[in-house]
């Protein structure tokens, strides 16, 4: 066992120290539709029995460990008194979905390359309480609610390598092992990098200039007492993300000197800008069961977040606009103190402590669950800029103690497939959240009402480039943002066809947006969003067809831009080669209708309105093949395969091209002993 572990560590060190692998990242993706889904058993696409990774007995009655002997759970399972453990997924569906855009069904968009700033395509209900508003890189790290806690009968290793083409690389290495029957310890390691694609002949031709790089490390542990009354879950999460900020690319003139490869003539708007975000989170959950109907729990979080933006030469991007020459258009709207450079740092610290009671009752096949809590949050924020540049009033600090009270109720019907839940939480003197939800075999429906404070960045910000204050005595204060959201979805099975039509309706009040100058504004009038959706899946023998479509109408698209139509589709066929090699081959498509997508401002890490460039109205096609032999899964994918076929250029954000056609290869290897 020790030799095997040392071998795995040696392989990992070789990957990170070898020049070929030195650019790679690390973390098993959380695929929404397979690949690494939280649950599921091997299907016909992945074989069965020993070849599918299941635990069996060989002729000498020696136990062969596999996915069924390595199981995990989430913190929400313990919090909601769900006993079931989840087995490791070994299916082939979704293995090729390695990019973060792919993993979230194209419901997020970036700046065209791995590791660049993310934003949601659709409206998202805000969280209550004080939030930083700096979230463009958050999804590149492990999420607290998705941290897996294991119970293993043998050491478990998960190794994942993606060579994404054009300098996009991912490496994940996870290891966990039970120290004793009731105590498990493990870690997750992620390394992710991408190279500059557009923006200067030297950078593109050499392929050595790094655009983004990411390190993410998690160490996790769980323990339960011998009598099962006490449970402890804990993890430490560190994210370190760095990115060059190009501000977009400037298109070459029609008379470019390199007509054979005009991409080499593209140059970035910003040439000396970069940003870096570091997050640290120490998380603790523990509970004690006095009785099934009365349990005590406590959740403690200490979080630290820092965001730094630096541009050491802002002179060229402060020139007055010149409509005859795009290269003369300024990126920064103004400067307040320093016309040579800008340096911005935001530091955020949060200590949160939640104590509560919970329990469950059962009667005549039905069950009742409850939870009540008191939550205290203390945060401190420091914002400073151009320190050492003789700038007056170059920093400010703020802090606040927030107290929340909340409750949750759940009723589970005897059929075990139908449940009703309700939740309410109130920040004393300010924010409020109310949610209700019905889930059954046929219907999922719910309603939520949220009144949330502006983010800290929306309320106040001071820098060399931007300054606003909506907290001072003489300032125009922002009101609570209101969201009323009603939704419903049917789940219909018609033979081999599964249809899930749905509808969402939002009514927004006091909506805060960033205008074309990248400055926050609040809309006093209310407006609405109506969204209809349809998910489908059709299986016939070895053939599968699946996808989702969304049709969205916004009553005020002057402040919120969403594509009217967004659709994904995939067509797959699975078969067996040489009696050992399972293959799932297919092609996936993505489409967004044309709309004025938001533009990115790296100084504040915010997307904002723009009225100059329409994006979308373009279909992206990507063929792929997922393969598995024994416990090793592989994939081959041609990303953006139809690039240039209709003489169109695809932009993922204004002035940011999506990466050109590229070939991706990946290996996912599970070891259970």
Token pair recorded at residue 174: 């996870």
User: Could you give the CA distance from residue 658 to residue 356 in angstroms, rounded to a whole number?
Assistant: 47
The pLDDT of residue 62 is: 54
Kindly give the parts of the chain with pLDDT less than 50: 2-3, 5-7, 9, 11-61, 201-208, 321-328
- Pairing state between β 70-73 and 149-152: antiparallel
Burial profile 429-450: b = 16 or more Cβ within 10 angstroms, e = fewer? eebebebebebeeeebbbbbbb
Using DSSP's 3-state secondary structure scheme, residue 521 falls into strand
Question: Rounded to the nearest 5 degrees, what angle is found at the Cα of 461, between the Cα atoms of 458 and 463?
Answer: 145
Contact 23, 15 (CB under 8 A): no
Residues 6+ apart with CB under 8 A from 605: 117, 133, 134, 135, 136, 137, 275, 307, 309, 457
Write the DSSP string, 623-655: EEEEEEETTEEEEEEEETTTTTTTS---EEETT
User: Could you give the CA distance from residue 641 to residue 632 in angstroms, rounded to a whole number?
Assistant: 26
Residues in the chain, total? 673
CA terminus-to-terminus distance, the chain:
7
The pLDDT of residue 329 is: 67
- Pairing state between β 565-577 and 543-554: antiparallel
74-97, pLDDT tens digit by residue? 999 999 998 788 999 899 999 999
Residues 6+ apart with CB under 8 A from 15: 21, 24, 161, 171, 173
345-388, pLDDT tens digit by residue? 999 999 999 999 999 998 888 899 999 999 999 999 999 998 87
pTM: 0.87
The pLDDT of residue 363 is: 83
Token pair recorded at residue 187: 């870690």
Locus of tokens 């599921």: 40
The pLDDT of residue 263 is: 63
Helix (H) or strand (E) holding 67: none
User: Could you give the CA distance from residue 633 to residue 446 in angstroms, rounded to a whole number?
Assistant: 38
The pLDDT of residue 53 is: 38
Domains in the chain (CATH in brackets) are: 2-671 (2.40.170.20)
Helix (H) or strand (E) holding 350: strand 342-363
Phi and psi torsions of 10, nearest 5°: -65, -40
Contact 79, 285 (CB under 8 A): yes
């Amino acid at each position: 066992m020790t030799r095997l572990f040392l071998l795995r560590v040696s392989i990992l060190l070789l990957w990170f120290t070898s020049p070929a692998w030195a650019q790679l990242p690390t973390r098993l993706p959380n695929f929404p539709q397979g690949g690494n889904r939280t649950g599921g058993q091997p299907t016909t696409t992945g074989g069965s029995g020993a070849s599918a990774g299941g635990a069996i007995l060989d002729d000498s009655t020696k136990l062969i460990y596999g996915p069924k002997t390595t199981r995990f759970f989430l913190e929400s399972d313990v919090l909601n008194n769900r006993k079931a453990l989840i087995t490791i997924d070994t299916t082939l569906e979704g293995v090729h979905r390695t990019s973060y855009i792919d993993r979230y069904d194209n419901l997020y968009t970036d700046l065209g390359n791995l590791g660049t700033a993310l934003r949601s395509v659709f409206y998202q209900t805000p969280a209550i309480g004080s939030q930083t508003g700096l979230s463009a890189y958050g999804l590149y790290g492990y999420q607290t609610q998705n941290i897996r806690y294991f119970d293993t009968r043998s050491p478990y290793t998960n190794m994942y390598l993606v060579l994404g083409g054009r300098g996009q690389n991912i490496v994940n290495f996870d290891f966990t092992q039970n120290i004793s029957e009731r105590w498990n310890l493990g870690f997750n390691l992620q390394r992710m990098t991408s190279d500059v694609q557009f923006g200067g002949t030297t950078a593109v031709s050499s392929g050595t200039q790094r655009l983004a790089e990411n390190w993410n490390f998690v160490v996790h542990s769980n323990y339960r007492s011998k009598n099962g009354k006490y449970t402890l879950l804990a993890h430490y999460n560190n994210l370190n993300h760095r990115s060059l900020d190009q501000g977009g690319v400037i298109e070459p003139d029609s008379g470019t000197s390199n007509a054979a490869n005009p991409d080499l003539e593209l140059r970035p708007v910003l040439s000396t800008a970069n940003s870096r975000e570091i997050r640290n989170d120490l998380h603790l959950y523990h509970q004690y069961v006095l009785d099934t109907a009365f349990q005590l729990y406590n959740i403690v979080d200490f979080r630290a977040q820092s965001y730094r933006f630096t541009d050491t030469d802002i002179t060229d991007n402060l020139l007055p606009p010149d409509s005859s020459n795009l290269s003369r258009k300024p990126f920064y709207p103004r400067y307040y103190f320093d016309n040579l450079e800008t340096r911005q740092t935001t530091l955020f610290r949060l200590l949160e402590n939640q104590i509560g009671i919970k329990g469950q009752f059962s009667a005549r096949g039905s069950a009742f669950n409850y939870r009540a809590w008191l939550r205290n949050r203390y945060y401190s924020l420091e914002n400073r800029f151009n320190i050492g540049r003789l700038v007056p009033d170059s920093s400010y600090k703020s802090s606040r103690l927030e107290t929340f009270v909340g409750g949750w109720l759940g009723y589970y019907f005897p059929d075990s497939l139908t449940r009703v839940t309700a939740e309410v939480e109130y920040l004393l003197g300010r924010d409020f959240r109310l949610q209700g939800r019905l889930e059954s075999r046929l219907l999922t429906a719910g309603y939520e009402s949220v009144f949330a404070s502006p983010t800290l960045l929306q309320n106040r910000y001071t820098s060399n480039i931007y300054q606003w204050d909506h907290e001072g005595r003489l300032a125009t204060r922002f009101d609570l943002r209101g969201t009323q959201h009603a939704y419903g979805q049917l789940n219909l099975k018609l033979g081999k066809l599964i249809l899930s039509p749905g509808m969402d309706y939002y009514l927004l009040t006091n909506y805060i947006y960033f205008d074309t100058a990248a400055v926050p504004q609040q809309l006093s009038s209310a407006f609405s969003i109506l969204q209809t959706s349809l998910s489908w899946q059709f299986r016939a023998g070895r053939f599968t067809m699946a996808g989702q479509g969304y049709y969205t109408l916004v009553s005020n698209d002057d402040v919120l831009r969403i594509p009217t139509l967004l659709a994904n589709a995939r067509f797959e066929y699975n078969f067996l080669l040489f009696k050992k090699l399972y293959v799932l081959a297919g092609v996936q498509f993505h489409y967004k209708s044309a709309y004025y997508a938001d533009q990115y401002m790296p100084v504040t890490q915010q997307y904002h309105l723009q009225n100059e460039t329409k994006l979308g109205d373009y279909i992206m096609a990507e063929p792929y093949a997922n393969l598995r032999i024994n416990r090793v899964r592989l994939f081959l994918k041609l990303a953006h395969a139809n690039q240039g076929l209709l003489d169109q250029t695809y932009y993922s954000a204004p002035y940011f091209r999506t990466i050109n056609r590229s070939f991706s290869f990946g290996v996912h290897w599970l070891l259970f002993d």
